[in-house]
Amino acid sequence: METLLLAGQSLLDISVQESGSLESIFSLANENDVSITDEVPVGTSLQVIEVKERQNKQIASYYKTNNLKPATELGFYIEEGIEFWEIEYDFIVS
């Protein structure tokens, strides 16, 4: 079976989405010839194999039934603009 990696998703998210278990990340990474810490590009098609001993069918079923796609990417943004720079660096705030 194949699944598409969406924006904000990691291998851990796909692992939980497809098997209901974090432990299946090792099989997922192995099947797709990547490391569990690799940043896989958005839109990559991943092969998912069923590993029964590492499955939580209730969780996987919940995600599928409710059409949920977990995306746990932590995004952080550098604040920019007049307000930020003026106050943070140009003035002494006491």
Cα–Cα dist 48/64, whole Å: 14
Domain residue spans in the chain? 1-94
SS3 3: strand
Judged on CB neighbours under 10 Å (0-12, 13-18, 19+), 54 is middle
Q: Please, what is the Cα angle at 16 between 14 and 18, to 5 degrees?
A: 65
Rounded mean pLDDT, 55-66: 89
pLDDT in tens, 7-25: 889 999 999 999 998 888 9
Per-residue pLDDT for 81 more than 80? Answer: no
Q: What is the pLDDT of residue 91?
A: 63
pLDDT band of residue 49 (cuts 50, 70, 90) is confident
